[in-house]
Amino acid sequence: MIIPAFDLINGKAVRLYQGDYLNQKNYDINLLFCLEEYKSKGIQIVHLVDLDGAKNSENRQIKLFKKILSYTTIPVQIGGGIRTAKDISTLLNLGVKRVVIGSSAIQDKNKVKKWLKIYGPDSIVLALDIHINSNNQKEIYINGWQKRTHFILEEIIEYFLPSGLKHVLCTDISKDGTLLGPNFNLYKEMSNAFKNINFQASGGVSTLQDIIFLKKTGIKSIVIGRSLLEKKFTIEEASKCWQNEL
């Protein structure tokens, strides 16, 4: 499915180039209107990123999310600096469908394993951001891509599989926000290796052809942000490409 994405700072839609807060582009949109429009066009879930919360967990945009969820019934998944069970419970109690866990999946694996058991695999999305090194290994980066880890993508997925891991949002950070096209080989390889995982591809989508090629890789969803905000194509065109490409 197509998952429209909005990165939010102080309630406003923005895009960061390669995760850099100093390289920020603002978009003049009415978020609530957009969500209602997407719902009317058959979109099944929207991806929201709390960049304020990601930078400072004390600065989470809870009031905004409460307003969004009271205004629209479109399902949402929310990420950005979620590090505690309280963070997860707060969002799920507001009516969030899925909570996106990033750095904690690497820094505190046992805790996240427990969360999968407590909240259920359908409520948790692991956001795993990778950079492919010279040895063709998918190295995981955390803390807003600032910190390289010694973990690779496959071993982290293997670690969480026994806990029922179901949803993985995978971003090739060299592609994100660039409009230079996705890493098709990455998603084809991962979809073939882990057939029970619902992969969400993220990063680089700029054309309708990208959507067609991504679906052929076997991934279950595509997260699209900048291309929709900058009207490279419409949500109707994106959905039609996804539905028609078998």
**Domain 2-244 in CATH 3.30.1360.20:** no
* Identified catalytic residue from 50, 52, 87, 129: 129
Which residue in 57, 63, 51 sits closest to 84, CA to CA?
A: 57
Q: pTM for this structure?
A: 0.93
Quick one: pLDDT at residue 21?
75
The answer to whether 92 and 84 have CB atoms below 8 angstroms apart is: no
Domain boundaries, the chain: 2-244
Tens of pLDDT, residues 175-217: 776 677 899 999 999 999 999 999 999 988 999 999 999 999 9
pLDDT given at position 177: 64
Q: Is the pLDDT of residue 56 over 90?
A: no
Instruction: Tell me the pLDDT of the chain averaged across its residues.
Output: 92
pLDDT of res. 130: 95
The model's confidence at residue 246, banded by pLDDT at 50, 70 and 90, is very low
Q: For residue 129, indicate whether it is catalytic.
A: yes
Mean pLDDT, range 141-168, rounded to an integer: 92
What confidence score (pLDDT) does residue 35 get?
96
Quick check: is 172 catalytic?
no
pLDDT digits (tens, 9 = 90+) for 17-51: 666 777 788 999 999 999 999 999 999 999 999 99
* Percent above pLDDT 70 for the chain: 97
Task: Give the confidence band of 65 by pLDDT, cuts at 50, 70, 90.
Answer: very high
What is residue 23's predicted lDDT score, i.e. its pLDDT?
Answer: 77
Alpha-carbon distance of 237 to 233, in angstroms, equals: 6
Instruction: Kindly report which listed range (15-29, 56-70, 128-142, 190-204) carries the lowest average pLDDT score.
Output: 15-29
